[in-house]
Amino acid sequence: MFSSASRKALEDDIAVHEKAIIELKGRLNTMTDIARLPPELLSEIFLHLAELSYNDIGLSFRPSYVCARFYAWVSVTHVCRSWRTIALNTPRLWGHIVLTRSSIVNDVLTRSKKAPLRVTGYISSPHDERAKLLKNIMQESSRLKELHVAGPASMFRDLFPTSMEPANILETVVLSDYSHTSPFYNASDINQPIFRQEQLPRMRELEIRRLVFRWDSYALSPRITRLVINGRLDSQALLGTFDTLLSTLQKMHNLEYLELEDAIPRLPDTTKTLPSPARTLSFPRLQRLVLIGTSLDCGNLLNHISLHSGVHSKVVCRGINGSQELIRIFGAHVSRLEPLVTVQLSRGAYGGKLHVRGWRALVDPNDTNPTIELQVDALACSSLASYLVRDSKMFTRVRVLRVDAEDHDWRWKDVFAGMPDLEELAISGDPQDQFITAVSATRKTKRHNPPSLVLPSLRMLRLTHTRLCSPDYDQPPEFIDKLEDWLMMRCNYNMPIDELHLTCCVNITEDDVERLIEIVPYVKWDGIVEFESEEEDEEEEDYPYGYDDYDYDYYDDLYDDPWFF
């Protein structure tokens, strides 16, 4: 048998050779192309990777998989000794902290040394392990640069204790109540702000979501550039007065993004006409305005704001009360802004909410997610929709119009009267008989000149999911017959349609398309031949209700998809 000394000697020899092999592999690694990168550049690459992982987390994650999802970037430190050394000598890399297990967070916090901290986490209760971790991090408030915390409302009461030193570099604060229980309503809790302005002297971005909020409890810094207040329907009576809201916003001249959801003090439901503005707020740097609430309250605040031409606006309203006032004020606002070039109109189910989307440039129809520059969603009957298009003068420069026409009466004459420069028209669904009547109408010209057709600049027509004929071609004149007559009329008026696109249209044959090709120089048909049965028509006739002015509530429109192309 071998003695213990002999065994120890062999193990020592193995250790020496293993160390030599590791050193040789390290020298071999230095011969690769990537090893030629300076440590400073590798450090920045690692930092970018950590930032990407951190920014992708958001506040909707589940704590059960956050560890694997976020800290996966740490695998770069396991590639080789050189990379690990560089990572450990980059404190900023470890300043991105997601609250998971205490063992992980404590190690990361130690490695961050004195670097600024960006912290995000979901905390299920004040007794959660992550709550204790957050409390320890808050003791180093001087290092905090960004804080995203989601959890029950009660845990935010002591998040910023009065004894806390000022967080002099903290710029972003996002606090969200994601609990399913009701918030606390003690008067002392409501009137006591979560933080004080002197504690966060450099705060630039503030988001408070689903927490009880009072406008008169906060002295918000005029340095704030992004403000998001997402209130609760069950606590709107506690917001304070509308004048206090105006006084708070009036001091915030640096705002670039403003979003208020259920955070505008309510007007009485009996209000019919919005009060005249006692003062008007101006935000010279504002780029994005989002208002979500009742039509009456959104219209009231919008009536007190003067928007410059570069603002991207979004107004989403519930309830039909006040829709007329909102449409009036919104139309007056937009008519003073830079003209829209591309517009999309759609309606909710059964004549529900009116959706308007607008862009100040031409938008590619194949782009399914373009950045919306103007948006309004409100319950409005056809007369209000017609006013918005025809009389508000916000669409007079529109060149491209996309309309969801399925089961909706858009009062086409009013729509086209408000868009004299229209060049491209895209319709999804059945536009009804009034459509052909409207586009075939003539308009008066100057004295002694012959009459002209409406939409003199129209050159392209797109039809999608449109029924061109009845199932058995037994209802003359069919829509395609009327369409053909209109196309011929435009040729006779020397205003031909140059392009016709037919996509997923119903009850159409190759012969029908050939008829259209004889009139329009370029017809693009997808070749789909789909015919309805008579039974389908009978089912549709079983529901002859007029839904146009039906007062649907906010949540009935939850599943509407305005992107129908």
Query: Cα separation of 333 and 133, whole Å?
Result: 48
Q: DSSP class of residue 160?
A: S
Rg (CA), the chain: 32
| pLDDT category of residue 2 using cuts at 50, 70 and 90 | low
Q: How far apart are CA 321 and CA 330, in angstroms?
A: 15
Above 70 in pLDDT, residue 562? no
Q: Which two tokens stand for residue 168?
A: 């002099």
The widest CA-to-CA distance across the chain, in whole angstroms, is: 123
State whether the Cα torsion 258-262-268-270 is positive or negative: positive
**Cα(25)–Cα(47) distance, integer angstroms:** 26
Contacts of 514 (CB under 8 A, 6+ apart): none
Confidence category of residue 543, pLDDT binned at 50, 70, 90: very low
Pick from 332, 437, 314: nearest CA to 388: 332
First to last CA, the chain: 83
Establish whether the linkage from the previous residue to 477 is cis, with ω within 30° of 0.
yes
Distances (CA, A) of 361 to 218, 340, 420, 485, 553: 40, 7, 17, 32, 33
3-state secondary structure of 359: strand
pLDDT over 70 (residue 459):
yes
Contacts 24+ apart (CB under 8 A), 508-511: 508/468, 508/469, 508/480
Residues 95-118 have pLDDT tens digits of: 888 888 888 888 888 898 999 999
- And the tokens for 47? 């930092």
Q: What is the DSSP letter of 94?
A: G
pLDDT band at 538 (very low <50, low <70, confident <90, very high): very low
Specify the 3-state DSSP secondary structure of 260. strand
Residue 548 pLDDT exceeds 50 = no
Numbers of helices and strands, H then E, in the chain: 16, 21
Q: Are 493 and 486 in contact (CB under 8 A)?
A: no
CA distance linking residue 207 with residue 230, whole number of Å = 8
Mean pLDDT for all residues in the chain:
81
pLDDT tier for residue 555 given thresholds of 50, 70 and 90: very low
**pLDDT tens track for 294-331:** 888 998 999 899 888 788 988 888 877 777 888 888 87
User: What is the rounded distance in angstroms from the CA atom of residue 410 to the CA atom of residue 345?
Assistant: 9
CATH 3.90.550 fits domain 116-265: no
How do beta strands 342-347 and 353-359 pair? antiparallel
Residue with more model confidence, 139 or 127: 139
- Output the six-digit token pair for 329: 């004020």
Residues forming CATH 3.80.10 domain(s) in the chain? 116-265
Q: How confident is the model at residue 292 (pLDDT cuts 50, 70, 90)?
A: very high
> Which runs of consecutive H residues, i.e. helices, occur in 71-128?
81-88, 102-111
SS3 track for 272-330: CCCCCCCCCEECCCCCEEEEEEEHHHHHHHHCCEECCCCCEEEEEEECCCCHHHHHHHH
Output the CA torsion sign for 265, 271, 272, 275.
negative
